[in-house]
Amino acid sequence: MNLFFIHLSLLKLRGKLSLMTMTSTLFHVGFVLIISIAQIASEKCDPEEITNSGLCADIVFGFDTSCSINGSTKEEMKQFALEFVDRFSERIGMPDSENKATFTQFGLLRFDISASKVFGFGEAPTSDEVEAEIDEFDYAEVDCKTITHLALELAKTDFFESDKVDTRTPNILILLTDGRTQPQKFIDEMNRARAELNINNTYVLVVQVPNKNDKTDEMLTTEQLLVLAPLDEDRFTYDSTVDIEVLADQVYERIGEIVPCPACVSEDVPCDEADLDVLVIIDHSNSIISSNLEIVRNNTKRLVNAFENVGDSRNPEKGSVKFALISYNNRVNPILYFNSSGASTKEGTLEAIDNADLSQAKDTRTDLALKFADETIFNQDYGDRKEAQNVIVIFTDGRTMKAKFQNNTIKVAQKIKERMDGPNSTSVEIFLLGLPGANVEKNRVQREREWNLIPSQPLDKHFEEFKTFTEIEFFIAEVTRRICNIA
């Protein structure tokens, strides 16, 4: 029996097991980097992408300064932080807009009886400045108490919800702590604050340091660690036998596995050297509420903004990316063709997305949307360029409705991917972004059948399912890279 189930059994014996306890038990302690529940079931990021482009994230160290950790351990944790920062030296900077490259930003907070910001995002915009701030940090305790929820709340409000956060990169909280909230009356507050960080789409890893009063291995410590970091791979243990450089490598590698992938976005998108015709298809059936459709709209704009040379090419040495847009429910609504005047510029493309009517209606006629793409959008009469790589990015939350049309969807998707003859001679790469549905379990088998057969192969490069709508924005840079890789 593993530690998680032992913990649940003990809670049952005490008569304390509740839904909140079971939910919060899905987390671990020490140094903390937070992983959302949605990511527990996700694939891991391809490490080659990190190797090729670097790792970018918004990272906060949460330093436990209470007197339950001795001074020599605190000094070693400071050295760990410096060693860890050194792995990002070439990618530390400040993002200046959503159209530019991504960087890693660092911040630091301290906590014991209170929590305070030592330095925030943008206040140390180079690796030398980050290391200087950490080197000068005074880790002397204010008090012997350890009120962890104050650190979690501060990370959320002053860092990950600040105007300095880069929404294109993951939020990472690294807690350096022995894992024990004291006084114990604040443990419930810690559980609540941890859950709110999860909602905020922040990732937590824990590096647990020794408690100087020999309480490191007590059950109460373990229980709290499980709240902070649920997975074994998100918990790290430090003591005097651990090599700090190896520990820094392990934490770095774990962040690199996060999905959506935290690989850096270059200022110049590499596929700007090739021509791309990209059709975005948006499902706006009744099962997706209007506020979530606005999230899809905004992320479609992020996708457009991820490319530099959008519209008609004005540089013969560089390719261009042109966008078309259709939406659908029980019928297809064409919004932008490749030869529409708006498609000739990035500004016109973004305006068309802003003005798109995404009013809800019944049914999900994915078959009609794909048929329209095949027969009309990817047709030279409507601006499709024979020399360009054709791409579809489809946002949908479920299976084709009505059921009698479901096989049509599979057939037309296959036809699009295999087109080789006639005026529509270029095959199409299909990327499917699976949205959270109103009834996740309803008709799951049929939905998964479609989601396995509509996208191009390999499936792990052409399909992504989201548990929450807030996850989508973190994936846009990733799907951009995947599109570039086929250009």
Contact (Cβ atoms closer than 8 angstroms) between residue 57 and residue 104: yes
16-256 and 270-486 share one CATH topology?
Answer: yes
Sheet (strand 105-111) strand order: 115-119, 105-111, 58-64, 171-177, 202-208, 235-237
Name the CATH architecture for the domain at 270-486: 3-Layer(aba) Sandwich (3.40)
Token representation of residue 28:
């671990």
In tens digits, the chain (487 residues) has pLDDT values of 333 333 333 333 333 333 333 333 333 333 343 333 333 334 577 777 787 778 999 999 999 999 999 999 999 999 999 999 999 987 888 876 555 678 899 999 999 999 999 999 999 998 999 999 999 999 999 989 999 999 999 999 999 999 888 877 889 999 999 999 999 999 999 999 999 988 767 899 999 999 999 999 999 999 999 999 998 999 999 999 999 999 999 999 999 988 667 888 765 555 666 789 999 999 999 989 999 999 999 999 999 988 888 998 766 667 889 999 999 999 999 999 999 999 999 999 999 999 999 999 998 999 999 999 999 999 999 999 988 999 999 999 988 888 888 899 999 999 999 875 445 557 899 999 999 876 666 677 888 899 999 999 999 889 999 888 877 877 887 888 889 878 6
Q: How big is the CA angle at 276 (ends 272 and 282), to the nearest 5 degrees? A: 120
Number of residues written out for the chain: 487
Domain spans in the chain, listed from the N-terminal domain onward: 16-256, 270-486
Q: Count CA within 13 A, CB hemisphere, residue 223.
A: 18
- Which CATH superfamily hosts domain 16-256? von Willebrand factor, type A domain (3.40.50.410)
Q: How big is the CA angle at 417 (ends 412 and 420), to the nearest 5 degrees? A: 105
CA atoms of 76 and 231, how far apart (whole Å)? 25
- Residues in contact with 448: Cβ distance below 8 Å, sequence separation at least 6, in sequence order: none
